[in-house]
Amino acid sequence: MRKDTLTITDNRTNISYEIAVENDTINALDLRQIKVNKDDFGMMSFDPGYTNTASCNSEITFVDGEKGILMYRGYPIEQLAEHSSFLEVAYLLIYGDLPNRTMLENWEERVMHHTYIHENLAKLMQTFRYDAHPMGMLIGTIAAMSTLHPDAKDIHNNTSRQKQIWRLLGKLPTVAAFAYRRRIGRPYNYPDSSLGYTENLLYMMDYMNQSDYQVNPTLAKALDVLFILHADHEQNCSTSVMRNIGSSYADPCSAMSGAAAALYGPLHGGANEAVLRMLTEIGSLDEIPGYINQVKDGKFRLMGFGHRVYKNYDPRARIIKNVAEKVLEVTGGNPLLDVALELERIALEDDYFISRSLYPNVDFYSGIIYQAMGFPVDMFPVLFALGRAPGWLAQWLELIDDADQRIARPRQIYTGNVKRDYVPLEKRT
Ligand code: CMC
């Protein structure tokens, strides 16, 4: 008869242990009973980068990396990208189900009502140097938000939590747009809450008193779809940081600032910026084979390729490729798209990439769209952060309400010196 247990025999002692198995997973603490001597600490598992460690149960996002499947709350990403809107997806991720019309309108109204930022924040942003990276500005400004909204610390109060969610989602586009305007020396353009979420972002960035100004609906829609695709991706690096910081019961602004910092790195959300810089450096089709050879020689990585979870084509990259075509119809061609397409074609036929299951990821084509829309390269990770914000918040809420969760605190294997005595300075050689 089938038994949902694992039997482990410790060959050091010849003792066998029976450990419960649930969802193909063992509880790591069950290993601790495995000892040679009674006073031993007990067995641990070693897993740098958490490649095979589940840190939580989650009902939010499902990824099947082998088959290239991504679902939010059970809805396939392809359907959400085609039929939904970013704010509706944000609602879905955070509350678990799609809203009805009244709920959606109320939710949109609440988020858009919170788009103005405190004037102190606007002034704070003026103090960044003219060439400050907008991601650094975003990280610093979100952290500063917690000083202006001390009620955010009341994380066990549901009413307060809801308010922080509206606030963070509402204010992030304003912070992003202000960071952009600050850098190019233009005055801030305050939010217009009668506009859609991404429409308002584009308006705050672009509007300069033109009498006939209108946000291009195709571009606003494209950005909305890109945000949907970025909205959550289970326990990725930045989301894990959001949960880790949240596990100490820090307020969600501080936690989100940390999550944004994790996203900033070029192996994560900063990859879209790195891809664009890479494509620009390659420059033309005939340079591609030489570039790929250098990647294969281990000189650097092909940015926008590979993923910890996807060992198949990233479904988001496929959708983004289609969005790119629509955007380029409006903005005109981007010569880097030809370089990207050829780079993908050559890489996908090359044994180095095939044998390691390296496919284009979400960042490979997103930068081309952002660039065609006129965003400067260093705004790309900021756009990723805006898209990922509902996922961070949904995962944070799930963590706070999860009775299994405790403060994040991994173990280590100490490999340093054994005890030694302090040597006075004059006796040290
Ligand atoms: N270019 C060349 N080789 C690569 C790449 C790449 N982009 N990615 C992985 N490899 C190789 C790597 O050298 C290793 O080869 P070997 O077995 O010979 O040592 C093998 O593939 C496995 O790589 P890994 O580093 O063990 O894989 P990982 O799961 O730890 O890393 C990753 C995942 C996304 C950090 C990595 O693929 C990478 O650095 N990609 C480029 C950066 C990038 O595009 N990041 C965005 C990820 S998607 C958006 C997001 O969620 O942030």
pLDDT tens per residue, range 139-173: 999 999 999 999 999 999 999 999 999 999 999 99
**First CA to last CA across the chain, in angstroms?**
68
Q: Which of 141, 162, 142, 140 is nearest to 151 (CA)?
A: 162
Token duo for residue 82? 């085609």
**Ligand 1 centroid to residue 176 C-alpha, Å:** 28
In whole angstroms, how far apart are CA 191 and each of 108, 204, 206? Answer: 14, 6, 12
Q: What is the mean pLDDT of the chain?
A: 95
- Atom 16 in ligand 1: residue holding the nearest Cα: 356
Atom nearest to 275 CA in ligand 1:
44
Q: Give percent of the chain with pLDDT exceeding 90.
A: 90
Q: What is the pLDDT of residue 312?
A: 87
- Measured distance CA(202)–CA(253) in Å, rounded: 24
pLDDT at position 333, please? Answer: 79
Average pLDDT over residues 59-69: 95
Tell me the CA–centroid distance for residue 307 and ligand 1, in Å. Answer: 6
Dump the DSSP string for 127-144: TS-TT--HHHHHHHHHHH
- Cα(325)–Cα(384) distance, rounded to whole angstroms? 20
Q: Whose CA is nearest to atom 27 of ligand 1?
A: 308
Sheet holding 15-22, edge to edge: 5-10, 15-22, 25-26
The amino acid present at 134, given as its one-letter code, is P
**Token duo for residue 348:** 């996908």
Task: Encode burial over 384-410: b for 16+ CB neighbours within 10 A, e otherwise.
Answer: bbbbbbbbbbbbbbbbbeeeebeeeee
**Catalytic residue list contains 363:** yes
Model confidence over 171-203: pLDDT tens digits?
999 999 999 999 999 999 999 999 999 999 999
The answer, yes or no, to whether residue 313 has pLDDT greater than 90, is: no
Q: What angle separates helix 158-183 from helix 380-400, to the nearest 10 degrees? A: 170
- For the chain, the structural domain boundaries read 1-45, 64-402
The C-alpha atoms of residue 276 and residue 363 are separated, in whole angstroms, by: 9
Alpha-carbon span 25 to 6, nearest angstrom: 10
Residue 356 Cα to ligand 1 midpoint, Å, equals 9
Within 13 A of 160's CA, how many CA atoms are on the CB side?
Answer: 13
Integer Cα distance of 28 and 224 in angstroms: 40
CB atoms within 10 A of CB 253: 22
- 186: which DSSP letter? P
Rounded CA-CA distance 233/358 in Å is 18
Distance 288 CA to ligand 1 centre (A): 19
> Candidates 53, 293, 307: which one to mutate for ligand 1, based on the most atoms within 8 Å of Cβ?
307
Least confident of 118-122, 140-144, 371-375: 371-375
Check pLDDT > 90 for residue 334: no
Two tokens at 247? Answer: 């596990």
Cα–Cα distance measured from residue 316 to residue 229, given in angstroms and rounded to the nearest whole number: 6
- Atom number of ligand 1 nearest to Cα 364: 44
Q: By the 8 A CB rule, do 238 and 263 touch?
A: yes
| pLDDT, mean of residues 21-32 | 97
Contact 27, 20 (CB under 8 A): yes
331 near 285, Cβ under 8 Å?
no
The answer to whether 34 touches 43, Cβ cutoff 8 Å, is: yes
Residue whose CA is at the smallest distance from ligand 1 atom 21: 356
Specify the CATH architecture of the domain 64-402: Orthogonal Bundle (1.10)
Residue 75 has pLDDT above 90, yes or no: yes
Indicate which atom in ligand 1 lies nearest the CA of residue 352.
3
Laid out side by side, the sheet with 69-72 consists of: 61-64, 69-72, 75-76
Catalytic residue among 268, 297, 378, 404: 268
- d(CA 305, ligand 1 centre) in Å: 7
Spatial distance between the Cα atoms of 184 and 84, rounded to a whole number of angstroms: 33
Within 6 A (CB) of ligand 1 lie 233, 236, 267-269, 271, 295, 301-308, 356, 358, 361-363
CA atoms within 13 A on the CB side of 8: 15
Here the tokens at position 400 are 């706070």
- Supply the residue whose CA is at minimum distance from atom 10 of ligand 1: 306
- Reported as a single tens digit per residue, the pLDDT across 384-407 is 999 999 999 999 999 999 999 999
The token duo for 31 is 């290993």
Considering the candidates 114, 230, 307, 314, report the single residue annotated as catalytic.
Answer: 307
Nearest to 173 by CA among 242, 265, 271, 90: 90
Specify whether 307 is catalytic: yes
What does the block give as tokens for 339? Answer: 């370089």
User: CB–CB of 197/223 below 8 Å?
Assistant: no
Mean pLDDT lowest among 259-273, 318-332, 413-427: 318-332
Task: Indicate the range of 70-79, 105-114, 318-327 predicted with least confidence.
Answer: 318-327
Query: Cα(116)–Cα(97) distance, rounded to whole angstroms?
Result: 28
Cα–Cα dist 174/188, whole Å: 9
pLDDT reported for residue 195: 97
Q: Which of 30, 398, 381, 28 is nearest to 238 (CA)?
A: 381
